[in-house]
Amino acid sequence: MNFNEKLINLRKSKGLSQEELGNELKVSRQTISKWESCQSYPDFQRLVLLSDFFGLTLDELVRDIDVQEVREKNLNNEKTIHPHYKLLKESDFYSSAKEVIKEISYHYKDIDGNFIDQFQSLNGFDSRIFELYLFCFFREQSFSFKRDFEAPDFIVNKMDKEIAIEAVTISRKPENVKNITDYTPKSPDEINSELENNVPLMFGSAIYDKVKKKYWEKKHVQNKPFLIAIADFHDTMSMTWSFNSLVEYLYGYKYNAYKHSETGELVINPEKIDFFQKSNGTQIPAGFLLDEANKNISAIIFSSTATLSKFNRIGRQAGMGNGNSLLVREMTIYNHDENADKPDIVVYSVDENANETWSEGVVIYHNPYALYPLDPTLFNDTVAQCFFDMESKLVRSFMPKIFPYSSHTINMKPTDSLKKNEE
């Protein structure tokens, strides 16, 4: 009897569906289906779990398996694993992140049963990292969780006020995933070219995909503020420079044009944007949050630091990991001088004296037309909050003491070998 046939018989002998067996093993129904159809084989850890669950020895379970076939299947599966997952699993550079994610997983409830599989995959790793990040953020902000529904991703409560949040990411292109550990930074001209139309359109497409699902019509979401949380993973380090494109898409204005008055005061001149244009000529309107048709979206949450490096730094300052490398963080941060036209730059060593929070880097863009407005007092002063002023056409921002626009984390070993990580 082949392994797949044996697994099918064992599962049916216990009267379990593929989904029920998957729940027992903390894998998805799709994974069980692939095992039973010979599309893939369980790794050693899962074989141990299977043998324990069915009361068999490993030898009894794997007898008659074609070892060469397993090797070939696993080799093909290896090609579908995200490079960052491999780094998390194998690299000393990420030992702190590995430990802190393991700790978080004890508290994070996997609603749809797909988390483990997707966390490893090329297409799912970034999304799942972002979900874990949001979980940590809302916990830090003293929200409680109602994890009874598969969608949207989060229902959270604070001060008897519930809000619903759906997370979405701008996905990487396949070529950007393959080159993630061998990255050549873009030139300023390349970045400016992407910011003109491509990046706002990517933000818009990701947000619109969620809008089409109309989560606010679900019974458990009705009459509550509904938020979309978004992060940009479309290219390595894109979070460090795509920030302004989201503002332009949401409010329909550019704020690049500024000057100082004769008295030295900073003067910002809003520049109206009517639309963004696709390569095929299709025009997409700008000003998503100024369109009353989107009144069901109470706010947009964004973070430029929801990355693996964030978990690594948080873990390191908590004393987690093997400590075999040095972490140095360089970041550009908001300058609180009201007449400043450039951010400040901060560089520090990440150790137990650092005090980075999960909330650091989060910005909330409020919808002036929201049917159910988000109460800004639900969040403390470590979170940036932005409101559009209809009269001046300016975005009024309430900024925390430390707000990073972008940051880079550099891992250094005693050998002086360097590895720069995306953030």
Taking the C-alpha atoms of residue 249 and residue 383, their distance in angstroms, rounded to an integer, is 21
Question: Which range is least confidently modeled, 3-7, 32-36, 63-67, 391-395?
Answer: 63-67
User: Taking 60 as the threshold, does the pLDDT of residue 75 lie above it?
Assistant: no
Q: What pLDDT, on a 0 to 100 scale, did the predictor assign at position 86?
A: 85
Taking the C-alpha atoms of residue 304 and residue 327, their distance in angstroms, rounded to an integer, is 19
Closest CA to 48 of 80, 31, 25: 25
Q: What pLDDT, on a 0 to 100 scale, did the predictor assign at position 174?
A: 66
Q: What pLDDT, on a 0 to 100 scale, did the predictor assign at position 272?
A: 95
Q: In the predicted model, what is the mean pLDDT of residues 359-370? A: 97
pTM confidence score: 0.81
User: At a CB cut-off of 8 Å and minimum separation 6, what does 416 contact?
Assistant: none
Taking the C-alpha atoms of residue 388 and residue 294, their distance in angstroms, rounded to an integer, is 15
pLDDT tens digit sequence for 330-344: 999 999 998 888 899
Question: Which range is least confidently modeled, 320-324, 340-344, 417-421?
Answer: 417-421
Token representation of residue 280: 């095929």
User: Taking 90 as the threshold, does the pLDDT of residue 365 lie above it?
Assistant: yes
Q: What pLDDT, on a 0 to 100 scale, did the predictor assign at position 67?
A: 55
Q: In the predicted model, what is the mean pLDDT of residues 103-109? A: 85
Each as own residue / partner, the long-range contacts of residues 57-62 (CB below 8 Å, 24 or more positions apart, any chain) are: 61/3, 61/6, 62/3
Q: What pLDDT, on a 0 to 100 scale, did the predictor assign at position 417?
A: 47
Q: In the predicted model, what is the mean pLDDT of residues 129-135? A: 95
DSSP for 276-343 reads: EE-TTS-EEES-GGG-GGGTT--EEEEES--SHHHHHHHHHHTT-S---SEEEEEEEE----TT--S-
Q: In the predicted model, what is the mean pLDDT of residues 54-64? A: 78
CA distances from 421 to 86, 93, 308 (A): 14, 10, 8
Taking the C-alpha atoms of residue 304 and residue 314, their distance in angstroms, rounded to an integer, is 15
8 A C-beta contact, residue 163 and residue 212: no
Q: Helix 83-90 vs helix 95-105: angle between axes, to the nearest 10 degrees?
A: 100
Looking at the DSSP bridge assignments, the partners of residue 341 are none
Q: What pLDDT, on a 0 to 100 scale, did the predictor assign at position 274?
A: 95
> Is the torsion defined by CA of 65, 68, 70, 73 positive or negative?
negative
State the chain's mean pLDDT as an integer. Answer: 87
Q: What is the largest CA-CA distance in the chain?
A: 86
Q: What pLDDT, on a 0 to 100 scale, did the predictor assign at position 282?
A: 86
Q: What pLDDT, on a 0 to 100 scale, did the predictor assign at position 20?
A: 86
Q: In the predicted model, what is the mean pLDDT of residues 114-120? A: 74
pLDDT tens digit sequence for 133-180: 999 999 999 999 998 888 899 999 999 999 999 999 998 776 666 666
User: At a CB cut-off of 8 Å and minimum separation 6, what does 293 contact?
Assistant: none
Sorted by where each starts, the structural domains of the chain and their CATH numbers stand as 3-78 (1.10.260.40), 83-421 (no CATH)
% of the chain exceeding 70 in pLDDT: 89
